[in-house]
């Protein structure tokens, strides 16, 4: 029986699972350092809200799943301020904010960092072209 392709098209991200080795340590990082809202916890699990997307922190269920998480890009309004705040909180920074793509109407800025479980995460900011408040990072 054929199905309508619209029935198979994802509408949004419902949840992202992030592998962690120490749920308590990772919970503190995502709650206290990143400032995400903790939704609820169960033994060995923690759930956060990030702009309507639920993040689940959990130990891998199987050995073959025990690896760093996929890269998650967190949208921010001011990438320089967000980067500085993370650095001030002792977060391991992979790279300072930098323009990675110049689009017709905006520049895409990215800055990568690591969580307590050594997963690489990133900040992203879409800055309207010619916005004088954004500049190349002085690091």
H/E segment holding residue 73: strand 73-75
Instruction: Looking at the structure, tell me whether residues 81 and 104 fall in a common domain.
Output: yes
pLDDT at res. 133? 62
| Total domains in the fold of the chain | 2
Q: Where residue 76 falls among pLDDT bands split at 50, 70, 90?
A: very high
Q: pTM of the full predicted structure?
A: 0.73
The answer on 52 and 93 residing in a single domain is no
Domain at 26, CATH number: 3.10.180.10
Question: Do 6 and 57 belong to one domain?
Answer: yes
Q: Are residues 97 and 46 in the same domain?
A: no
Name residues whose C-beta falls within 8 Å of residue 136's C-beta, 6 or more positions apart in sequence: 98, 99
Gyration radius of the chain's alpha carbons: 17
Per-residue model confidence as pLDDT tens digits over 39-69? 999 999 999 999 999 999 999 888 888 887 7
Nearest-angstrom CA–CA distance, 122 and 97: 10
- Considering 67, 82, 116, which residue would you say is the last residue of a domain? 67
- Structural domain of residue 39, as residue ranges? 1-67
Q: State the Cα–Cα distance between residues 24 and 129, nearest whole angstrom.
A: 41
């Amino acid at each position: 029986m054929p199905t309508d392709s619209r029935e198979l098209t994802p509408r949004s991200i419902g949840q992202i699972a992030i592998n962690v080795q120490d749920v308590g340590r990772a919970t503190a990082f995502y709650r206290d350092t990143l400032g995400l809202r903790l939704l609820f916890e169960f033994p060995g699990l923690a759930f956060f809200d990030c702009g309507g997307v639920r993040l689940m922190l959990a130990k891998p269920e199987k050995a073959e799943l025990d690896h760093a998480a996929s890269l998650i890009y967190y949208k921010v309004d001011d990438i320089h301020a967000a980067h500085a705040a993370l650095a001030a909180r002792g977060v391991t920074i992979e790279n300072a904010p930098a323009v990675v793509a110049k689009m017709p109407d905006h520049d895409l800025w990215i800055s990568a960092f690591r969580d307590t479980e050594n997963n690489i995460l990133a900040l992203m900011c879409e800055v309207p072209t010619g916005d004088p408040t954004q500049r190349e990072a002085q690091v």
